[in-house]
Amino acid sequence: MSTIPNEFERTDIGEIQIAPEVIEVIAGLATVEIKGVAGMSGGFAGGIAELLGRKNQSKGVKVEVGQREAAIDVSVIVEYGYRLPEVATQIQTNVKRSIENMTGLTVIEVNVHIHDVIFKVVDKSEDVDVSHHRVK
């Protein structure tokens, strides 16, 4: 991918360029901050939903970047029990705010694609009180 065109930001001492990959990482991190997001999905092209790992912070994120604007698509996996429209709206707000604050670009849209819902694994051993017996 190429960097944002040279006209994006010019100062007295040079120009500032932000690679689209940087915007993808910002969007990915802003997405997984939202409660209820279990991870990111590789999308339809990948074919398999995977949880976000530390190696690829931009997994499940696609960006289109112009000189002053950006459009973002995020593909997510949501934990069971959360209201999907609320999680999606929070993702949109957080991604937009993060990218605009960090880059100065105007985010014109954030599209959220929910690819899967997973059940949160609960450790049952914590819930069992072995010191208390009901029947003696």
pTM above 0.85, yes or no: no
Alpha-carbon torsion angle 41, 47, 53, 55, nearest 10? -120
Residue 121's pLDDT is what? 67
Domains (range + CATH), the chain: 6-126 (3.30.70.1350)
SS3 state at 101: helix
What's the whole-number average pLDDT of the chain? 81
What's the pLDDT band for 17 if we cut at 50, 70, 90? confident
How far from 81 is each of 36, 78, 117, 120, 129, CA to CA, in Å? 8, 9, 9, 9, 26
Q: Residue with structure tokens 């990915």?
A: 28
Q: What is the pLDDT of residues 68-94, one digit of tens each?
A: 999 999 999 999 999 999 999 999 999
DSSP 79-99: ETTS-HHHHHHHHHHHHHHHH
Among 19-23, 51-55, 64-68, name the one with the lowest average pLDDT: 51-55
